[in-house]
Amino acid sequence: MSASGGSIAIIGAGSVGSAVAYSLLLRQVVADIVLVDINHELCQAQVNDLSDATFLSNVRIRQGSVQDAQNADIIIITAGAKQKPGDTRLNLIDRNYKVLKSILQSLQPIRNDSILLIVANPVDVLTLFAQRLSGLAKNQVLGSGTLLDSIRLTRILASKLEVADTSIHAFVIGEHGDSQCVAWSTATVHGTPLLKVLPLTDNEREEIATTTRKKAEAIIKVKGFTSYGVAAVTSRICEAIIFDHRQVLPLSHWQQDLDCCLSLPAVLGRDGIISSFPLHLDEEEQSFLSESAKGLRKVIEEYKEDL
């Protein structure tokens, strides 16, 4: 792949932001990457370190201000507090709402065809807040959502079946967090229903769903953060946007019926979310999804005066 000539700004140059930059750089998604952080010294050190990798591609990377990010094709928000062991993602909302709000104020006016990609947690709630506060159309504001969880799920299933990950289509839907659920009824292996080729008991399904849901927690317990998976996923999302791939991915986006943002499959292209892709869930999955939305709406409700 060769760089498109476009630009991507990453706001937040910590573990996730710098790994996202590294992934974008190696994949040559755009020609210019701008890193922004309130910690200028850290940001410059990340840029200096990353610039040692640019010999592999022709990508330019530099430190910039929030204003430099205004004109990027994609603005990625990775700024904010991260989970400590034992934290849920929703515990981060107070701190990260304030961070997001101040960034979005400084970003004005955002180029009217930019795509705003939220990665900071709790990603679903922050995606909705960014839709309300950014001034961009809803389809231009999305969150990385459960794409990472779906990749984790796919990896487990692929290793059980001893097939390539790309042969499996399986989605985790709902919140990128504790109320997420696996859409087992829609999972396929190259078009064949997954549960026909891999008959799993209820317990086995529950175990796989729990391992998927708790994977980040297990990593954070030992190394303090996760970065590589989310970076690869973010880079995949950016590629689909910049090159107008029209790929169907589980991403956090506006759900009219559920009155919140959460992940369901969507068609992703240069304008952001092109459309929601219909998923025919069974009754139990539908009810899990409704519960997930209910939990998110409860959190959003607490901020309604402020939005």
| Cα Rg, the chain, nearest whole Å | 19
Q: Look up 245 and say whether it is catalytic.
A: no
Q: Is 75 in the site for ligand NAD (CB under 6 A)?
A: no
My answer on whether omega of the bond before 122 falls inside 30° of 0, hence cis, is yes
3-state secondary structure of 61: strand
Q: Is 142 in the site for ligand NAD (CB under 6 A)?
A: no
Binding residues among 171-210 for ligand NAD as defined by CB under 6 A: 176
Which among 35-43, 57-65, 151-159, 179-187 is the span making contact with ligand NAD, rule CB under 6 A?
35-43
CA distances from 8 to 25, 31, 82, 142, 241 (A): 10, 9, 22, 15, 11
Q: Rounded to the nearest whole angstrom, what is the least distance from the CB of residue 282 to ligand NAD in the complex? A: 26
**295 marked as binding residue:** no
Residue 117's DSSP bridge partners are 76, 142
Q: Which is nearer to ligand NAD, 108 or 287 (CB)?
A: 108
Q: Is 261 in the site for ligand NAD (CB under 6 A)?
A: no
**17 marked as binding residue:** yes
Q: Rounded to the nearest whole angstrom, what is the least distance from the CB of residue 197 to ligand NAD in the complex? A: 29
- Residue 216's contacts (CB-CB under 8 Å, 6 or more residues apart) are 83, 226
Cβ-contact 25, 57 below 8 angstroms:
yes
Q: Is 148 in the site for ligand NAD (CB under 6 A)?
A: yes
Q: Is 92 in the site for ligand NAD (CB under 6 A)?
A: yes
* Tokens 């190394």, located at residue: 223
Which among 11-19, 27-35, 202-210, 275-283 is the span making contact with ligand NAD, rule CB under 6 A?
11-19
3-state secondary structure of 51: helix
d(C-alpha 120, C-alpha 81), whole Å: 8
d(C-alpha 18, C-alpha 9), whole Å: 11
Catalytic residue among 169, 176, 253, 280: 176
- Residue 201's contacts (CB-CB under 8 Å, 6 or more residues apart) are none
Which among 27-35, 97-105, 178-186, 264-272 is the span making contact with ligand NAD, rule CB under 6 A?
97-105
Residues with active-site annotation? 176
Q: Binding site residues for NAD(+), as ranges?
A: 12-17, 37, 96, 119-121
Residues at the contact surface with ligand NAD, assessed by CB under 6 A: 11-17, 36-39, 42, 78-83, 92, 96, 99, 102-103, 119-121, 123, 144, 148, 176, 225-226, 230
